Amino acid sequence: MACRVIEYGGAMSRWAPDAALRLERAAVELFTVQGYAATSVPQIAARAGLTTRTFFRHFPDKRDVLFLRERELPGVVAALVAGAPAFLSPLGLVMHGFEAMATGPFEGWREDIRSRRAIIGSDQGLRERELLKNVLLGEVISEALERHGVDGDEARMVARYGVTVFELALTDWLQADGSAFVDVLHSTAYRMGRLVRPARQGE
Amino acid sequence: MACRVIEYGGAMSRWAPDAALRLERAAVELFTVQGYAATSVPQIAARAGLTTRTFFRHFPDKRDVLFLRERELPGVVAALVAGAPAFLSPLGLVMHGFEAMATGPFEGWREDIRSRRAIIGSDQGLRERELLKNVLLGEVISEALERHGVDGDEARMVARYGVTVFELALTDWLQADGSAFVDVLHSTAYRMGRLVRPARQGE
DNA sequence: GACCGTGATGACACGGCATGCCATCAGGGT
DNA sequence: ACCCTGATGGCATGCCGTGTCATCACGGTC
């Protein structure tokens, strides 16, 4: 939402707004230029005109700075699932939520997401954090499903499945050229559903 | 495999075998008694009769000590998938691999796995590491599927799905009383397949 | 029996991460 | 003018993880 450009060099003393956003921008720039491991937290803080201690007030650790933009994601998706038509199947509810978000602001974030994913892919610790965020998203979706009357076990399974589809679709979308995310999401869901459908022969 | 009991108190100077195993046992005991965060690496090393530096020669970091027993897991499962009957569907290949392992030594490890999972659940960093291990397992399985002639995209999807089923089944198995892991695995696979199967109505 | 190569370990130093604690400062309300 | 709140600066501390070199045990060779 709040995505206005921040300037660093000038008189950017404290009490300036968007401290977290400034820190995030400084971090992404430094990570891109010199790599994640080679960038220290004091370096990021200095570039944002803040101190190390303040960095850790806005982010629980160094990794988390790359996921600032996704903090509201679980709440948004859960709300969309909660507002889905009640006649849908459990999987239909989840996909409705993702679909509603995919048709929204997602298209404009493509390059931002791509650059962050490039950094995340370069470090094992960042990959781990991303996986945790996805699982947490799944748990929130699972709760939303339960409020729709879905059984707990089924909610967990469908939520995990939906998040997996979302993950794979996101990767495809970033690699593909020009396709709308909604279309990639649908395609991935369809292909995966076909593969997972109990085969006629064997198993 | 090598699971013999280790003794600490005695003259356990260096050059004793199974240094990694001794470190792992010492770590699990300390984590169980006083918690993961409250246990330091020097403490673990001292209990195992070794030094901090040696700990980090056997494990890349403090978290990894809890996953020593699973180091061979990807290789084993991949081999089982590779040896699966060629007429099976992609998902059938994966499930054949998990099933073959479930009927094997898994039953005897239940209490070990349970105690480790209790520790893992108490710390976010450990949860992240567990998720990464699962994804890595999925990637190895995906490669095994490709060697069976499965398309790359399909292999990724089916492998991720299979690992998710395995995860959920494992959790169920640890909570349930007395059920064989193979049965829980089959039950989970069946229920999840039904949920994920494209519904007749809506979506 | 003496020599040497290999590999695991001990010991030390060092930088970065993360947190607790208190002082400081800006803004708003009274 | 006073106080309260909240964000920040600054300092100290402990643990994590790694690079480096010395040390020691074991096995092979002569």
The secondary structure of B167-183, three-state, reads HHHHHHHHHCCCCCHHH
User: How far in angstroms lies nucleotide D8's C1' from the CA of residue A96?
Assistant: 43
- Whole-angstrom Cα distance, residue A92 to residue A98? 10
Question: Looking at beta carbons, which residues of chain A come within 8 Å of B160?
Answer: 164, 168
> Per-residue pLDDT for A199 more than 60?
no
Q: Which nucleotides of C are covered by protein (CB under 7 A)?
A: 8-13, 15-21, 26-27
Amino acid at A91: L
Rg (CA), chain A: 19
Q: Which domains does chain B have, with CATH numbers?
A: 1-60 (1.10.10.60), 72-196 (1.10.357.10)
Q: What does the pLDDT read at residue B9? A: 35
Instruction: Give residue A186's Cα distance to chain centre.
Output: 18
- Whole-angstrom Cα distance, residue B187 to residue A64? 37
Q: What values do phi and psi take at B76, rounded to 5?
A: -65, -50
- CA nearest B127 in A: which residue? A132
Nucleotide nearest to B61 (CA to C1'): D17
- Whole-angstrom Cα distance, residue B191 to residue B196? 9
Q: What does the pLDDT read at residue A98? A: 96
- CA nearest B129 in A: which residue? A128
Closest CA to A25 of A63, A61, A68: A68
Q: Which helix (H) or strand (E) holds A173?
A: helix A152-175
Measuring alpha carbon to C1', the residue closest to nucleotide D11 is: A53
> Residue B201: which pLDDT band, with cuts at 50, 70 and 90?
very low
Cβ atoms of A36 and A126 within 8 Å: the answer is: yes
Which position has the token pair 């039953």?
B107
- Whole-angstrom Cα distance, residue B64 to residue B145? 27
Instruction: Give residue B110's Cα distance to chain centre.
Output: 12
DSSP A108-152: GGHHHHHHHHHHHHT-HHHHHHHHHHHHHHHHHHHHHHHHTT--H
Question: Looking at beta carbons, which residues of chain B come within 8 Å of A124?
Answer: 132
Cβ atoms of A126 and A120 within 8 Å: the answer is: yes
Residue B147 buriedness (CB in 10 A; 0-12 / 13-18 / 19+): exposed
| Biggest distance spanned by C-alpha atoms of chain B | 70
Q: Which nucleotides of D are covered by protein (CB under 7 A)?
A: 7-12, 14-20, 25-26
pLDDT in tens, B6-50: 333 333 444 566 999 999 999 999 999 999 999 999 999 999 999
- Whole-angstrom Cα distance, residue B180 to residue B165? 16
Collapsing DSSP to helix, strand or coil, A82 comes out as: helix
Residue A147 buriedness (CB in 10 A; 0-12 / 13-18 / 19+): exposed
Cβ atoms of A154 and A90 within 8 Å: the answer is: yes
Nucleotide nearest to B14 (CA to C1'): C9
- Whole-angstrom Cα distance, residue A65 to residue A26? 10
Neighbours of A60 (CB within 10 A): 10
- CA nearest A86 in B: which residue? B202
- Whole-angstrom Cα distance, residue A109 to residue B201? 33
Q: What does the pLDDT read at residue A106? A: 84
Cβ atoms of B158 and B150 within 8 Å: the answer is: yes
Q: What does the pLDDT read at residue B107? A: 85
- By mean pLDDT, which of A13-22, A45-54, A130-139, B47-56 is the weakest? A13-22
pLDDT in tens, B124-165: 999 999 999 999 999 999 999 999 999 999 999 999 999 999
> Residue B5: left (phi > 0), alpha (psi -120 to 50), or beta?
beta
- Whole-angstrom Cα distance, residue B101 to residue B64? 23
Residue A69 buriedness (CB in 10 A; 0-12 / 13-18 / 19+): middle
pLDDT in tens, A20-75: 999 999 999 999 999 999 999 999 999 999 999 999 999 999 999 999 999 999 99
Distances (CA, A) of B69 to A3, A45, B24, B176: 46, 40, 9, 22
- Whole-angstrom Cα distance, residue A118 to residue A32? 9
User: How far in angstroms lies nucleotide D15's C1' from the CA of residue A135?
Assistant: 28
- Whole-angstrom Cα distance, residue B181 to residue B110? 9
- By mean pLDDT, which of A23-32, A86-95, B72-81, B189-198 is the weakest? B189-198
> Per-residue pLDDT for B122 more than 90?
yes
